[in-house]
Amino acid sequence: MSVPAAVLALLEGAVTPVYDGEVPLNDKGRPTSDRYAVLYADAGTRNSDDLPLTADRHVYRWQVTSVGEDRRQAEWVAVRCRDALLDQPLTVAGWELTPVTHESSSVIRRDDDLPGDPLFFAVDTYSLTATR
Amino acid sequence: MRIDTTELRQLEHDLGRVSERAAEQVRKTMQKAAFNIKKDMQAEAEGSKHFPGMPASISYETWEKRDEIAAEIGPEIGRRQGSLGFIAYEGTARNGPRFPDPQGALDREADAFEAYLAAAIAGDFL
């Protein structure tokens, strides 16, 4: 299992549905659910400045977009996701992982650029370092 | 976005107040780091079909308070597409971010910044 897959699994245990990088839309272009979380994860980065020390050291960053039909619901999703990521250590076989760091949290915004009623969303970013 | 300079500030505290010469070096170091991060973010924002104006909207500003030098780097409201920065970097309910998290650009600069900052402060006492 990769680090992004492990993150996705944790989120799936916290809220339903959780999407992996893509939000399913109906034929009008509106998300098929009014309450969900989306994981946008990178594939990890390496720093080659100090190859012997960093060859097996990867930094993973990801964003969780938490969506609801009002601000309170978006906040609820965001808190559920945050608690899932921070309350227990993430484990991936073959890797030693640092605890997850909550890097940033944005204000909850209203998305009016949708067919039908607006949705509200919160954005949180996280990171960890994985070594093997 | 923050670079933790707690230990350097502790060093500074331990050694006493830095001289004006060291302070000037710290100013220059901050300016250079902010410039490098800006260029890095501009490079990452190149080539977007939806946000062609984003690279030129990214700027930086530094300022000083009594015991602090700070920098703010990112899309500037008032420049073309600058007000769309939050959409470009955070996405919407339907779409994800278009550009990498600026934290990456900050991290890439962190080691050089900390090394130059240490030299600026330590050099004052040699």
Q: Which of A33-42, B2-11, B73-82 has the highest mean pLDDT?
A: A33-42
Interchain contact A114–B (C-beta under 8 A): yes
User: DSSP assignment of B45-92, as one string?
Assistant: TTT-SS-TTHHHHEEEEEEEETTEEEEEEEE-BTBTTGGGHHHHHH--
State whether residue B100 is helix, strand or coil: coil
Judged by CB atoms closer than 8 Å, whether chains meet at A49 and B111 is answered as: yes
Confidence of residue A120 (pLDDT cuts 50, 70, 90): very high
Chain A residues with CB inside 8 Å of B96's CB?
A: 21, 38, 40, 63, 65
Identify from B92, B95, B114 which residue to disrupt to test chain A contact, counting A C-beta atoms within 10 A and taking the largest count. B92
What is the percentage of chain A residues whose pLDDT exceeds 90?
80
Q: Rounded to 5 degrees, what are φ and ψ at A128?
A: -155, 165
Residue B93: partners with Cβ closer than 8 Å, 6 or more residues away:
A23, A31, A65, A67, A111, A114, A119, A120, A121
A3-131: which CATH number, 3.90.550.10, 3.40.50.450, 3.30.2000.30, 3.40.1000.10? 3.30.2000.30
Judged by CB atoms closer than 8 Å, whether chains meet at B93 and A67 is answered as: yes
Question: What is the chain B residue with the closest CA to A60?
Answer: B104
Instruction: Nearest by CB to B93, from A21, A31, A127: name it.
Output: A31
What is the number of other CB atoms lying within 10 angstroms of the CB of residue B17?
A: 11
Judged by CB atoms closer than 8 Å, whether chains meet at A125 and B101 is answered as: yes
Give B75-126 pLDDT, tens digit per residue: 998 888 889 999 999 999 999 999 999 988 998 898 888 888 888 777 655 5
A125: enclosing H helix or E strand: strand A119-131
- Going from N- to C-terminal start, the domains of chain A cover 3-131
Judged by CB atoms closer than 8 Å, whether chains meet at A106 and B86 is answered as: yes
ipTM of the complex: 0.84
Residue A85: partners with Cβ closer than 8 Å, 6 or more residues away:
A7, A10, A11, A64, A100, A102, A126
- Written as six digits, the tokens of B92 are 């919407």
What is the number of other CB atoms lying within 10 angstroms of the CB of residue B126?
A: 5
- Written as six digits, the tokens of A118 are 């607006």
Interchain contact A59–B (C-beta under 8 A): yes
Give A58-87 pLDDT, tens digit per residue: 889 999 999 999 999 999 999 999 999 998
Q: State the smallest CA–CA distance between residue A26 and chain B in angstroms.
A: 12
pLDDT for the residue numbered B93: 96
Q: Write down the pTM of the prediction.
A: 0.82
Dihedral sign, Cα of residue B44, residue B48, residue B51, residue B56: positive
